[in-house]
A = this chain, B = another copy of it.
Amino acid sequence: MIDFQYLSSIRKQTASKIVMIVVDGLGGMTNPSTGQSELEAAVLPNLDRLAANSSCGVSTPVLPGITPGSGPGHMALFGYNPIKYLLGRGVLEGLGIGAPIGKGDVAARGNFCLLGDDGKILDRRAGRITTKECVELVELLKQIEIPGLGIEIYPVMDYRFVLVFKGEASSPNVSETDPQITGVAPLVSNPTSDGGTGTALAVNLFTQRSMEILKEHKGSANGILLRGFSNIPELPHFGSSYALNPAAIAAYPMYRGVAGLLGMEVLNSKQTFEDEIKTLEMNFSKGYDYFFLHYKPADSAGEDGNFSQKVAMLEEFDKKLERIVQLEPDVIVICGDHSTPSYISSHSWHPVPFLINSNLSQGKVGGQFTENSCREGTIGDIRAEELMLLVLSHAGKLNKFGP
């Protein structure tokens, strides 16, 4: 992990190339009706063959029992302590739509909502208005001006938008206006530290003007709720911390955004995993020695609570994996940011299986790529933030520590 203070004295630049594939929501749970997890039920010849010759283990994203969001899940895999380097909701939401958020900017997640005549919240999502209406309403709010403050506002999806206050005068240290319950009025934003006074004022002014504009418009929403005020924290640079020349390939903007924040070069890629692999193939022999590749569909199926769809998406990944193996990277890593068991239709705290394959990896007879088999692998149970150290050592990129 980057918090190992001697890392800079032992890392070593070599020609070896690492491909690290993050299968979003990789781990699962036993489905009571079948007695198997998704990984156990899936037919995964390529993964199983690889696992039998790989150093395998399971990674705990944050702490035992703690279910991570995608932000902490990915930060940990890249070696950043997910508690110390927590990315705020506003920033992640902004990254998720590719909004340009600069150093010092403050981003918040917004909801269009419905207020009663008494000013109390009737519906925090304004009846889940359409994305089309969201775009219209955001256009209306763009007319709001606050002297001395840059304001950007972006539609996201349905009732959600992102608000960005530009510039150094902004502070994330302000309280949220979203009470996250109905039947009460939106909250007034207050500074939570000295620096937040001006921003809290701006938040309340913006909220007030939005209500006036929305009331006049007579659409489905007549108010806004803001939460997750955050800016981009000081982050060690991924490439220079590990002496790597890293590239990121991800179809979804949020993962591109996180990789970009860490200083990875984000390669252009179209929407499917097929497209991502093409991008990898085209860039493989260029100067990069680390590729982060993101596979989303397994997580989506898990979130939908669809066991057989998650199995299918894992099998789909297994098929595609062949093309990546054919590139003959020196190190292949397959890991996940968190588990998403279809049994509970959500992220979970369960440790996530991983494999590291290189000429230095240690396989185990009978090894398979499942939760239980990987736990019994030659690495065993680690914190996710320790994974990168093992990846570097399997790549021959770390010297001895201490005399």
Binding site for B on A (CB under 8 A): 1, 4-6, 10, 29-30, 62-72, 82-83, 86-89, 92-93, 228, 344, 346-347, 349-351, 360, 362-364, 371-372, 375-376, 378-382, 386, 388-394, 398-403
Q: Nearest 4 A-B pairs (CB), nearest first?
A: A65-B389, A65-B390, A65-B393, A89-B403
- Knowing A4-B83, A378-B372, the reply to whether A401 touches B65 (Cβ < 8 A) is no
Question: Please, which residues of chain B bring their CB within 8 A of the CB of A10?
Answer: 66
Please name 7 further chain A to chain B contacts, defined as beta carbons within 8 Å, in addition to the given A64-B389, A67-B399, A70-B403, sorted by A numbering: A4-B83, A65-B394, A66-B389, A66-B393, A88-B403, A349-B393, A380-B380
Contact A344 B360 (CB under 8 A): yes
Could you say which of B371, B382, B402 contacts A71, with CB atoms under 8 Å apart? B402
A64: chain B residues within 8 A (beta carbon): 379, 382, 386, 389-390
Known A-B contacts A87-B403, A381-B381, A402-B82; A393 and B4 likewise in contact (beta carbons under 8 Å)? no
Contact of A402 among B69, B344, B382, B386 (CB under 8 A): B69
Can you tell how many copies of this chain the complex includes? 2
Q: A65-B386, A66-B389, A375-B380 are in contact. Are A403 and B362 (CB under 8 A)?
A: no
Q: Is A83 within 8 A of B6, CB to CB?
A: yes
A402 and B72 within 8 A (CB): yes
Chain B nearest CB from A162 CB (Å) reads 12
A400:B69 contact, CB within 8 angstroms: yes
Tell whether A362 pairs with B30 under 8 Å between CB atoms, given A63-B386, A64-B379, A65-B389.
yes
A375 to B362, CA, bound (A): 14
Q: In whole Å, how far is A342's beta carbon from the nearest beta carbon of chain B?
A: 14
Q: Which residue of B lies closest to A363 (CB)?
A: B30
User: CB-nearest residue of chain B relative to A55?
Assistant: B350
B386 touches A93 (CB 8 A): no
CB-CB nearest in chain B for A28: B362
**Cα distance A86–B88 when bound, in Å?**
35
Known contacts A64-B390, A375-B380, A386-B65; is-contact A92 B5 (Cβ 8 Å): no
